[in-house]
Structure 1
């Protein structure tokens, strides 16, 4: 488990003007479902301060991370509390918060020492990312563990 994952509250996809309570929970559940990440075993709760708790089981480590990012990269969410039990023992990814000047190439170079591996980061963040050039400051991305076979 990751524990508490911080997000930039003022960055991300806007799903509504008021982001708390049942309306926010419904909006996040819809977001997860629309991205094809929905699992019946996942429960999402939003408190009045923009803290989201996700709980459940029956999803892979990859799916768990994508669900966390799908709900965290929403405007109004300041942090996500991870309570999801992964159904496999795949290594956890690192999370990277995009800063001004970042590109997937530069991020790939930082984490993998090879910019040309940016496609791995792009694929690891689909379906949330639609194009490798469409990242924004404050967005949190999955950086999968470096796999020697990919080098």
Structure 2
């Protein structure tokens, strides 16, 4: 019998992976569909400053999506995950090969997601993403893309 964490991952990860591939192809719609519209929600993004509240978070997703296209690879490497009642989390690495402002880039982000079960469905309520210490940061990636 699968554990609650295994059931959670089997439900959430396929939809979340598809949504992340979509945003890396310039479409923020599937990602916004996975998120709770009920505050509090928060985004500590690797690309933008901290955002709180659904209006700011959803606007940030549209801004980020506008920079991405031609996703060639997206993979989420789960390091840890768990559930407790109506709350859950994932911690891992996002590995991306994508075009940023028209230039091909490969990078990795460390990410943490917090989920809340709403009406029987898991919704994301928080995302924190940053670069691992040995990876170039998003500013460096965007700066390199614009300097060519």
- When the two structures are superposed, what TM-score results if normalisation uses the length of structure 2? 0.28
- When the two structures are superposed, what TM-score results if normalisation uses the length of structure 1? 0.28
